[in-house]
Structure 1
Amino acid sequence: MPMSSAAHPADGGRFLHVVPDDKFIDLAIESFEQVAPGAHAYVHLACPTSFRYLRSGQVMRLGLRQALSADFLAGLERYTAVFIHYLDDRARLLVNACTRKVNLVWIGWGGDYYHLAGERCQLLLPETRKLVEATSPTVSEEERRELARSVPEEPPERDESGAELRVRVRRLAIGPGGRDEIGLLNRFRLFGPVLRQDYELVRTANPGFLPAYVRWNYPLGPAVEEDDQLASGQSILVGNSAAPTNNHLETFRELANSWGGSRRIICPLSYGADAYADAVEEEGRRLFGDRFIALRSFLPFHEYMAIIRQCSAVVMGHFRQQGFGNILHMLKLGATVYLREQNPICDFLRGHGLPVRRFGDGRPLAEAVPASPEQVADWRRKIDGLFGPTAHLESTRCLLATAAQSPPLSGADAGTDDELTSGMAEGEL
C-alpha cells in the first residue's frame, strides 16, 4: 500500500527494512515477524501500481521524493536500526541523505557489492563480454549530457527511470566506483554479505571500508524433508539468472564439448536484461537443440523445485558468489555441483565438508557420479545446521540483537556530511 504524506512507518516498529521487489523478501518478513512480532516496518522506495514478486501486505510503497523529505528522514532516527536490503540507486540516495543519528545496516546481495572486490570486467569471460556489449543499449555522449541536464536537482513526484537515478547518484559521486562511494558505505555500522569470504574480499580491496561484519542470510524456503525424493534424471541446471556474470556462453561450450553435450540443459533466465536472455537462449538452442530449456518466467517455489529435481548436476559459471540458494538446494537433493575454482563458494562449501567439483580450468569436465542416500543425508544435516529453519531464526535473533547494540556512527567515525555529498558537477555523467 502507498504511504500517505502524514504517515511514517516508525509508528509501526522498532526496525525499518528498506526492501526491493524480490522473491526473497516475503520469506524474510516471515522470519523477522516470527522473531520479533510487530517490531518491524517495511518500505519499498518506489510506487509501482503492483509488485511483481512481493506478496506481503506489510510492505508500504514510498516515492523517492517523499523518502528524501525532511520529515521522513527525521523519523528514521526513531528506529533502533534501519536495514537496507540490497543497495540500489534509490537506497544510496536515501543513505546519503540520512543523518549520523540513523543506525544503518546493509544486507548485501552480491550484485550491490561485488564491484568493490574487483573490476566488473574481471567477472566476465571474453565471449560473454562481447555479448554484453552487443546487447546493451548504446547512448551517445550528447544523449548522456542531455539526460544529465534534464534531471532536476530535486526528485519529481513521479518515479524516476533507472537512467535518471544513475544521473542523480553520479552527480554525488556515491555510485559504484564513485569518488565518495566508500564514504557513503561507511555510513553503515554493519555489513552482512552472503558469505564471510565476500566481506574479506571487500575489506582487502578497500582498506578504508569500516562497517563491521554481521552474519545473516535469507531463508532457503520450504525445508527439504528426510524422505523427499532425490534429484533424478539426466538434466543439467546451468546458471541461476540472465545475469552476464553466469558466463553462459563459455559454460555452454564446456558442456557441449563434454558428457553434457547429450544431456537436457535447464537454464533459468527469468531475472536480467531481456536482450541478453534472448541471445543466451538462441545460442543454447543452437548448441543443444530441443534439449535446451529456458526458464523465462518466475515460477512458484514448488514448481521450480519440481523442475530442478530432474537435474543430477548443476553448473555455475560465475567467478563470484551467485546462486547460493540454488546450489544449497541442489546439494540437498543429491546433485553434483560444478563451480569455477575462483568462486568463493568453493572455499565455503569445502570448509563445511560439502562437496564441489571444479570446472573451467582447461581440463575435461568430469562426469557426475550419483551420491548415495547416506551421503545426501549427511549433506542435508550440514546444510540444515548452517541454514535450516532453526539456524536461520537464531541468526535472525542475533542480527537484530547486534544491530540494537550498535550505536549510530558519529561524524568522526565516517567523515562529515559535506565530504559525502560533494559530487560531480551538474551535467557530468
Structure 2
Amino acid sequence: MVFSSNCASSACRVQVFITIMFLHLINNDPKFPKSIRVKYEVIDPGNHVYVIVKASPEAPELEGDEFTYVEEPTELAAIIQGPNDWEGIIINGLLASLSGFMPVIPRDLPVAYFIWGWEVYPSVFSVSSTLLGPQTRREFQSFSGQLRMFLSSLIGPRARLRIKSRKVAKRVDVVSFPIREEAEQFISNGIFSRSVQYHCANVGGGTDFDDPLSRLRVTGQNILVGNSAAPTSNHLDTFAWLDGQKLNLSQRQVIVPLSYGGCSAYIERVVSEGYKCFGDSFVPLLEFMPRAKYVDIILSASCVVMNHYRQQGAGNIFLSLTHGSSVYLHENSTLSKGLKRMGFKIGDINSKATLDEFCIEDLNHNRALARVHFSKKHTYENTEKLLLLLRTLGNRPVDGS
C-alpha cells in the first residue's frame, strides 16, 4: 500500500511516497516460508516483507531473494527503521527464540501470531512426560529423568524458555490457528493475554481442490500411525492398543512415518516393537518423501491413527479427512475436540475404543466438511480478513485514502 504527501516550501515542492507494509517474521523451518509468501502475494501483492529468523549461523537458507535472513536484533532493527512504514507484524512459529528481538519491534504495531505447536507447548506443559502415554513414559523417561525435567521446569532451562515465550506472547494482539480450541488452551493457560483476539486462519495456503491429487479418495485398507518419530506420537501405546484388537492384517499394512523428529534409540525401539506386534505387515518409513508420494501413502490408508496428547500432525489429519480416511485421535487433544465441534466424525483412542472403520456416509460427510474448512478459497478469505483486522487495530485506512 502506497501513500503520498506533498512537501511544499518557497524553494521547492517535493512529493514523498511512503510504502506501508506488513512485516512477516518466520521460523527457519524450510517447509512453510514459500507457501506463506505465495498466499500473501496472491491476496495483497507487493505489501509484504518476509524475514526469516535463523536458529543458528549454520542454518540453511532458501534459494532466491524473496526472504531476508536475520540472526541479530540489530539486523531486524535496520529493516524496521528502513524506508518502509508498517501496518502490522505477522509471526509464524517463533516464540522464545524471538524474545531478544522484541525491544526493536515498535510497541504501537499490531501483532498477529500463527501457532505452529511445538514452539508453544513448553510454555503449557512444564514437564514433557505429561505428553507421553504410560508405556512410552515408562520406557523413555526414568524417575530420575522426570525429576530432572521437573527441576528444569522450575529453575532450569525450561523455566527460562517459558519466561521468554510468555514475554513474546504478551505482545500478541491476534492469535491464529484453524482450530479454536488450540488457541483457547494457550489463552486459558496464561500464555497469551486474555484480551487477545482469536482469528481462524491457516499457516499455509489450504487445500487446492482444483488439484487432481486433492480430489482423489482412499482406495487402500492400510493403517497409518503417527506423523513423525517424535516420542509424543506415543507409538508404543498405539501399537499396544492396535495389537490388543487382534486385527486381521493379512491384506493390510501398518505404516509408520519415522523420517524426522526423534532420536535413533527411540526409532530403533519403535521399529523393533512394530515388527514384534505386526510382523511383515509393519512398514516403517525411514526416509523423507515428496508430497505426491506421501499422498499415495495417505490414499492407501483407510484408517489414520494419531495418538498425540497435544496438537500435532494437523496437516496430515486435515489431508486424511479430505481424502476420506477414518481418523482416530486421542480424545483429549484439542484437535479431536475442535474437529468434533465443527461436525467431523472422529474416532477415539482409549481402552474402550476399537478400530471400526466409518461408514461411507460418515466419510463423505467429513470430505464435504473438509472442502469447507480447509480449502484454499476458505484459507485465503480468512487471511484477507486477518489483514483487514490488523489494519483496523493499527488505525490505518483500508483503502489508502
- TM-score bucket of the superposed structures, by smaller chain: 0.7 to 0.9
Pick which of 102-111 and 125-134 moved more.
125-134
1:37 equivalent in alignment to 2:49: no
**Contact 1:12–1:40 (Cα < 8 Å) also in 2:** no
State the distance in 1 between where 2:304 and 2:224 align: 4
Q: Deviations over 1:161-209 (max 9, x none)?
A: xxxxx97x97xx4x22x2x653432112222134211222222222872
Q: 1:114 aligns with which of 117, 121, 146?
A: 121
State the distance in 1 between where 2:257 and 2:125 align: 26
Match of 1:424 in 2: none
- How far off its partner does 1:72 sit? 4.3
**Contact 2:24–2:90 (Cα < 8 Å) also in 1:** yes
- How far off its partner does 1:335 sit? 1.2
Cα–Cα, structure 1 residues 259 and 220, in superposed 2: closer, same or farther, change >3 Å? Answer: farther
Q: Deviations over 1:226-271 (max 9, x none)?
A: 9944212221111112222211110111112214472411112233
1:85-124 correspondence to structure 2 within 5 Å: 85-95=92-102, 97-119=104-126, 120-124=128-132
1:269 equivalent in alignment to 2:255: no
**Contact 1:312–1:370 (Cα < 8 Å) also in 2:** no
- How far off its partner does 1:305 sit? 0.2
CA root-mean-square deviation: 3.4
Q: 2:85 aligns with which of 63, 68, 78?
A: 78
1:126 equivalent in alignment to 2:112: no
Cα–Cα, structure 1 residues 57 and 367, in superposed 2: closer, same or farther, change >3 Å? Answer: farther
Pick which of 251-260 and 307-316 moved more.
251-260
Cα–Cα, structure 1 residues 228 and 191, in superposed 2: closer, same or farther, change >3 Å? Answer: closer
Cα–Cα, structure 1 residues 252 and 208, in superposed 2: closer, same or farther, change >3 Å? Answer: closer
1:296 equivalent in alignment to 2:286: yes
- How far off its partner does 1:319 sit? 1.6
Give the alignment's TM-score, normalised by structure 1.
Answer: 0.74
State the distance in 2 between where 1:208 and 1:58 align: 31
More strand by share: 2
Pick which of 183-192 and 109-118 moved more.
109-118
Q: 2:223 aligns with which of 227, 236, 245?
A: 236
Larger Rg: 2
Q: 1:383 aligns with which of 355, 360, 370?
A: 370
Cα–Cα, structure 1 residues 268 and 207, in superposed 2: closer, same or farther, change >3 Å? Answer: closer
**Contact 1:118–1:205 (Cα < 8 Å) also in 2:** no
State the distance in 2 between where 1:15 and 1:33 align: 11
Q: Deviations over 1:283-328 (max 9, x none)?
A: 3233223322222333221111011111000011012222222112
1:195 equivalent in alignment to 2:202: no
Q: State the one-letter code of the partner of 2:392.
A: Q
State the distance in 2 between where 1:34 and 1:280 align: 43
Q: State the one-letter code of the partner of 2:230.
A: A
Cα–Cα, structure 1 residues 43 and 281, in superposed 2: closer, same or farther, change >3 Å? Answer: farther
Match of 1:148 in 2: none
State the distance in 2 between where 1:365 and 1:294 align: 23
Cα–Cα, structure 1 residues 205 and 90, in superposed 2: closer, same or farther, change >3 Å? Answer: closer
**Contact 2:98–2:168 (Cα < 8 Å) also in 1:** no
**Contact 2:327–2:347 (Cα < 8 Å) also in 1:** yes
Cα–Cα, structure 1 residues 55 and 367, in superposed 2: closer, same or farther, change >3 Å? Answer: farther
Please, which runs of 5 or more residues in structure 1 have no aligned partner?
1-10, 145-165, 409-429
- How far off its partner does 1:349 sit? 2.0
* Secondary structure, counterpart of 1:267 in structure 2: strand
Q: State the one-letter code of the partner of 2:223.
A: I
Please, which runs of 5 or more residues in structure 2 have no aligned partner?
1-17, 396-401
Give % identity.
27
Give the alignment's TM-score, normalised by structure 2.
Answer: 0.78
- How far off its partner does 1:365 sit? 1.6
Cα–Cα, structure 1 residues 128 and 388, in superposed 2: closer, same or farther, change >3 Å? Answer: same
Q: 1:214 aligns with which of 189, 199, 209?
A: 199
How many residues in Structure 1 have an aligned counterpart in Structure 2?
Answer: 361
Pick which of 34-43 and 192-201 moved more.
192-201
Q: 1:354 aligns with which of 327, 344, 351?
A: 344
Match of 2:320 in 1: 330
* Secondary structure, counterpart of 1:197 in structure 2: helix
**Contact 2:95–2:165 (Cα < 8 Å) also in 1:** no
**Contact 2:207–2:375 (Cα < 8 Å) also in 1:** no
State the distance in 1 between where 2:219 and 2:334 align: 28
Q: Deviations over 1:322-355 (max 9, x none)?
A: 2222112212222111112111222322222221
* Secondary structure, counterpart of 1:237 in structure 2: strand
Q: State the one-letter code of the partner of 2:200.
A: R
**Contact 2:208–2:214 (Cα < 8 Å) also in 1:** no
- How far off its partner does 1:115 sit? 3.9
Cα–Cα, structure 1 residues 226 and 266, in superposed 2: closer, same or farther, change >3 Å? Answer: closer
State the distance in 2 between where 1:257 and 1:34 align: 50
- How far off its partner does 1:274 sit? 3.0
Cα–Cα, structure 1 residues 101 and 368, in superposed 2: closer, same or farther, change >3 Å? Answer: same
Q: 1:252 aligns with which of 235, 239, 252?
A: 239
**Contact 1:104–1:187 (Cα < 8 Å) also in 2:** yes
